[in-house]
A and B are shown apart, each in its own frame.
Chain A
């Protein structure tokens, strides 16, 4: 039972991590396409004031944060696993009573 849970949990966690990484790549591609589009619109309508760097900057920070959550700060999954194990133990103890 415990092994089953652990395996499913690991599967679920791996699935989430891969989804997060693929999600980041989608996010990145959308970011590049939209910013390129804004830069083209900016320069086609009038080439004076370049306003497209503002969304590129703000959104870029969001993309970096997305990368960090998908690759670097993945400890949340372990915490979730630990808490779930504790919760399962508590439920087992309650059932035994």
Chain B
């Protein structure tokens, strides 16, 4: 190799390096909001969309990965789905909102293509539901799930709410199944069957229906508080391994141990089981 060739190759290598540095700078400065932090030239961090469905939707199935789900009652007969994709532009491009209506059933799912691990993005989902909705299944992996509205319009909806690390709350449900790992659960239910379980969150709820049904509330390290309407009748079991037990209702005691209390409220066929390991348990009078 001649010295002149070496110099020429060196200069070409330099130019290539400079081009690579320029490209890297361009990509860095144009990165829109990776990890939720806007890049230097970022314009926005969310994409919005909404879709209105004709009356007749009575069943809803909702699913998000990291974003919250809010279901709210309204006085219109249609069902409306509103979503916001949030996070980096790459993430928002990848997220798909799969909405399918099959007769009276509406399914809304956040979907990611394969190989999207660690891409920073999430969907905020809101669904407006009319009176007459009968069933709701809402699952978020790590987001909160909220059902908002006046109790009367929500009291006819059987609900199944699930999350891993978010909180769950419903202003009204008919039958309710709620489960979380580390989130708190707050509810107001009117149906015969209410089941709520969490590991490290607290549970606070009221069962206010006319029927004496089956109530099972369980936490590991959180407190459990249940409000029951006055006429509720049935067997009650309160159990906390290391927390206190308290009943503000006129419970007819059947057995009482250090960490367990069983008794009866009025005449009825209902059962209420409240369990926790380290939290307090309170039975209160529920207000309608």
A interface residue numbers (CB < 8 A to B): 18, 21-22, 24-25, 28, 31-32, 35, 44-50, 52-54, 56-57, 60-61, 63-64, 67, 70-71
Contacts and interface: CB of A to CB of B under 8 A. Distances in A.
8 contacts: A25-B10, A28-B16, A31-B17, A32-B16, A45-B117, A56-B24, A57-B25, A60-B20
Contacts, number: 88
Grouping DSSP codes into helix (H, G, I), strand (E, B) and loop, the A interface class, with mixed when no group exceeds half, is helix
Contacts of B115: 44-47
Contacts of A48: 34, 88, 90-91, 94, 116, 118-121
A52 B115 CA distance: 17
Contacts of A47: 90, 115, 119
A24 B12 CA distance: 12
Given A49-B31, A57-B28, A24 B88 contact: no
A52 to B, nearest CB: 8
A14 to B, nearest CB: 10
B227 to A, nearest CB: 46
Given A21-B6, A21-B10, A46 B23 contact: no
Interface string B2-42: 01001101110110111011011101100100110000000
A60 B12 CA distance: 14
Contact of B119 (A49, A61, A63, A71): A49
Contacts of B90: 47-50
B17 A63 contact: yes
Nearest to A71: B10
Interface of B: 3, 6-7, 9-11, 13-14, 16-18, 20-21, 23-25, 27-28, 31, 34-35, 88, 90-91, 94, 115-121
Contacts of A60: 17-18, 20-21, 24
B28 to A, nearest CB: 5
B18 A53 contact: no
Contacts of B94: 48
Contacts of A28: 13, 16-17
Contacts of B16: 28, 32
B13 A49 contact: no
Nearest to A17: B3
Given A28-B17, A48-B120, 16 more contacts: A18-B6, A25-B9, A25-B13, A35-B20, A45-B115, A46-B115, A46-B116, A49-B120, A50-B27, A50-B90, A54-B28, A56-B20, A57-B28, A63-B13, A63-B17, A71-B10
Contacts of A63: 13, 17
A64 B35 contact: no
B9 to A, nearest CB: 6
Nearest to A28: B13
